[in-house]
Amino acid sequence: MVRISQAIAAQAAYPFAALAAKRAALEARGMTVIDLSIGDASLPSPTAAVETLRERATRPEHHHYSSYNGVLPLRAAIGGWMKRRFGVTLDIDHEITALMGSKEGLFRFPQAALDPGDIVLYPDPGYPVYAHAIAHAGGQPLPMKLSEKNNFLPDLDALPEETRRRVRMIIVNFPSNPTGATADDPFYTKLYSYARRHDWIVLSDNAYCEIYDDAPPRSTLEFDPRHERTIEFFSFSKSYSMTGWRLGWACGNAKLVQALLKVKGLQDSAPFEPVQFAGIAALNLSDTDMAATRRFYADNRATVKKALAAAGITYCDARAGFYLWARVPAGLTAAEFTDRLLAERQVLVTPGTAFGPNGEGWFRIAVTRPPDQMAAAAERIGQPWGQATCAPDPSSDPSGDV
Ligand SMILES: Cc1ncc(COP(=O)(O)O)c(C=O)c1O
């Protein structure tokens, strides 16, 4: 009999693959499910990107392997966008690389940065890829347990000095998946004071930076003006509704970006060139187009918040990203609640535990479906679940690491 790696055999499926299977099972029985689980936009990709893809795909010169870091016009467009959006100046030859989606780079970067046993701080709850990527690279994942009382920001002061000294890299993600939290300037200032003191690498995942109600999120590179220790990841998926296109980029410290490229070069090439040119079209979208996208998510968030509040379900009052992080009604675990919501009300959301053990007691709603579906789902979530008080806050557990 064939054998596979024991580690992979023991590995649970990626949470969203398991949720998709649950949805498929219900749909096979003729039910219609409103899927608010995975963070996939229901808005169409920008017309300018689609048209550019169509035109570029007819040109044979784009049918070959692309340069590993992406075509120069894309890197130039990214450089221009970073300058306009954040005031950050990048060397487009050494400090930027295209990616086949930011997930690709997030998974590979720890292989480029870590030696066996290196400690990496990452958010719990957080995007599930981080912990797997660290462990896969032989590093030691150390969760930063985020709590409501700290606005879901890591409490870096609470880390023992001895631990801070041993940390090699920290991963931050604002606006956050799954909590929707954003970081303020004092947080970033503190982050970099520790990072400089202890020589940390700062990996910032800025996948949701263009989805916000009023205050544009910052880039960590604004706080590391000489790009000494930062690598930041960006995605076309969420900002431009291009999840299926698989396009993102990493930028920042040249040594870090080039190390990532070295690993990447061993495993793949760059994205299909017509997709890269379509990315340029997306980066050149007008403020009016982007304002319409932001309004779509802001309105959806407002619809769901209203229904949750009316039902007595508490939530993290996110004003950016496209998720709402809400408390599971009392007496149910996150998995029990989300299973019941699916089976009894045909709404699929993600249990908080998909984002780490510290997500127990919470669930995540992606506010990505058309407004009528959001309103219908919110109404079903808000119907009474027995006791309508809140579950205890698991993050108040004093044994938490951070
Ligand atoms: C926080 C975060 N980072 C990165 C990604 C990956 O995005 P992509 O690979 O589509 O660029 C996601 C996707 O859900 C995410 O939520």
Between 15-29, 35-49, 79-93, the lowest mean confidence (pLDDT) is in 15-29
Residue 216 and residue 323 share a domain: no
Q: What pLDDT does 397 receive? A: 38
321 against 21, higher pLDDT: 321
Whether 389 is covered by a domain: the verdict is no
CA of 124 to the centre of ligand 1 (A): 16
Residue 125 and residue 89 share a domain: yes
Give residue-wise pLDDT tens across range 292-306. Answer: 999 999 999 999 999
Residue 292 and residue 265 share a domain: no
Q: What pLDDT does 386 receive? A: 63
3-state secondary structure of 118: coil
Q: What pLDDT does 400 receive? A: 31
Q: What pLDDT does 385 receive? A: 76
Of 237, 261, 283, the residue at which a domain comes to its end is 283
Distances (CA, A) of 75 to 249, 287, 336, 340: 9, 21, 46, 47
Q: State mean pLDDT over 299-328.
A: 95
Pocket test for ligand 1, best of 97, 124, 146, 237 (most atoms within 8 A of CB): 237
Count CB atoms within 10 A of the CB of residue 43.
14
Whether 398 is covered by a domain: the verdict is no
Q: Which of 358, 326, 362, 398 is nearest to 143 (CA)?
A: 358
CA of 104 to the centre of ligand 1 (A): 9
Report residue 170: phi and psi, to 5°: -125, 140
Is residue 311 predicted with pLDDT exceeding 50? yes
Ligand 1 pocket check for 101: Cβ under 6 Å = yes
Is residue 161 predicted with pLDDT exceeding 50? yes
pLDDT averaged over every residue in the chain: 93
Ligand 1 pocket check for 128: Cβ under 6 Å = no
Q: What pLDDT does 59 receive? A: 98
Q: What pLDDT does 402 receive? A: 40
Ligand 1 pocket check for 235: Cβ under 6 Å = yes
The number of distinct structural domains making up the chain is 2
Residue 167 and residue 244 share a domain: yes
Can you give the CATH number for the domain in which 271 is found? 3.40.640.10
Residue 349 and residue 325 share a domain: yes
Q: State mean pLDDT over 266-274.
A: 94
Query: Among residues of the chain, what percentage have pLDDT more than 90?
Result: 86
For residue 39, give the ligand 1 atom closest to its CA: 14
Is residue 43 predicted with pLDDT exceeding 50? yes
Give residue-wise pLDDT tens across range 118-143. Answer: 999 999 999 999 999 999 999 999 99
Q: In this structure, what DSSP letter does residue 20 have?
A: H
Is residue 37 predicted with pLDDT exceeding 90? yes
Pocket test for ligand 1, best of 37, 97, 102, 108 (most atoms within 8 A of CB): 102
Residue 253 and residue 236 share a domain: yes
Q: Is 253 exposed, middle or buried (0-12, 13-18, 19+ CB in 10 A)?
A: buried
Ligand 1 pocket check for 177: Cβ under 6 Å = yes
Q: What pLDDT does 94 receive? A: 98
Whether 108 is covered by a domain: the verdict is yes
DSSP conformation letters of 173-203: -SSPTTT-----HHHHHHHHHHHHHHT-EEE
Q: What pLDDT does 399 receive? A: 32
Residue 114 and residue 62 share a domain: yes
- How many CA atoms lie within 13 Å of 310's alpha carbon, on the beta-carbon side? 12
Whether 205 is covered by a domain: the verdict is yes
Q: In this structure, what DSSP letter does residue 352 have?
A: G
Whether 7 is covered by a domain: the verdict is no
Residue 272 and residue 181 share a domain: yes
10 falls in which pLDDT band (50, 70, 90)? Answer: confident
Q: State mean pLDDT over 85-113.
A: 98
Residue 297 and residue 268 share a domain: no
Of 237, 256, 283, the residue at which a domain comes to its end is 283
Q: State mean pLDDT over 208-226.
A: 97
Find the helix packing angle between 334-345 and 371-382, rounded to 10°: 110
Give residue-wise pLDDT tens across range 235-257. Answer: 999 999 999 999 999 999 999 99
Whether 216 is covered by a domain: the verdict is yes
Q: What angle do CA 280, 208, 66 make, to 5 degrees?
A: 35
Q: Residue 200 has which token pair?
A: 């940390």
Can you give the CATH number for the domain in which 23 is found? 3.90.1150.10
Is residue 76 predicted with pLDDT exceeding 90? yes
99 bridge partner residues: 248
Whether 233 is covered by a domain: the verdict is yes
Whole-model pTM: value is 0.93
Residue 296 and residue 261 share a domain: no
Q: What pLDDT does 100 receive? A: 97
Ligand 1 pocket check for 205: Cβ under 6 Å = yes
Report residue 142: phi and psi, to 5°: -120, 105
Residue 17 and residue 137 share a domain: no
Q: State mean pLDDT over 191-210.
A: 98
CA of 205 to the centre of ligand 1 (A): 8
Whether 391 is covered by a domain: the verdict is no
Residue 56 and residue 30 share a domain: no
Find the helix packing angle between 102-113 and 129-136, rounded to 10°: 30
Can you give the residue range of the structural domain that contains 269?
47-283
327 falls in which pLDDT band (50, 70, 90)? Answer: very high
Of 234, 266, 283, the residue at which a domain comes to its end is 283
Find the helix packing angle between 102-113 and 254-267, rounded to 10°: 110
